[in-house]
Structure 1
Amino acid sequence: MSNTQFEEYIIDLINLFKKHVAEAEEHIISEQGMVNMMKENFPNFLKTHEEKGTDFWANDSEIKDTNKKLDFAQSLSLLGKMAIDNHRQSQGATPGSGGSQ
């Protein structure tokens, strides 16, 4: 049986993370690796923040609490916050109005 479209999305997220890991043995991504991943794969999202004068990274506890390194679960949490923020923007909210809290 082949994977569903959404299963493929999950596999793509895993592969995207693996592409940017800093320490393959520990499956850890550095803050810079996460920033690079976001810039390469979500440039329009980050551009929207820049245009509105908000910084997606400025107050995020996922990075602050991990000495600038994230595991896969933490990186998914950041991507989830990005998705929430995009959803809120689609309803008229300002970028950064709650998706990265």
Structure 2
Amino acid sequence: MSNTEAEKMLISLLKIYHDHASESDVMDKSGLTKMMKENFPTFLLVCEKENPDFLEKFFKQEDTDGDQKINFPEFMSIVAAVTTEFHNQSHEQKP
């Protein structure tokens, strides 16, 4: 049995996370920055145009436990935020 498109998407998200996470399975600020630039460049460009300090503030906002690292649940929150923004744009709402 082959994976569905949704399952393939989730496997891809896991790969993205693991490609940017450290051996301790967390992402630091530089890992998050690299991941965002490689995987969400359009989203990042729009956000940084509106707010040049976007990534700094986004990291602090998404680091919900305040440990200066992004764990997998926090990463999924980031994915949800980006997905929500793309959904809003699909309805022609401003970022």
Q: TM-score range by the shorter chain?
A: 0.7 to 0.9
* TM superposition score normalised by structure 1: 0.78
CA distance in 1: counterparts of 2:93 and 2:55, whole angstroms:
14
Pairwise CA distance, 1:48: 1.7
- Identity between Structure 1 and Structure 2 (%): 30
Question: Can you give the 5+ residue segments of structure 1 that lack an aligned partner in the other structure?
Answer: 96-101
User: Residue 90 of structure 2 aligns to which amino acid in structure 1?
Assistant: S
Higher helix share: 2
List aligned pairs for 1:1-101, cutoff 5 A: 1-22=1-22, 24=23, 26-51=24-49, 53-54=50-51, 55=54, 57-58=56-57, 60-63=60-63, 65-95=65-95
Q: CA RMSD in A?
A: 1.9
* TM superposition score normalised by structure 2: 0.82
> How many pairs were matched up?
92
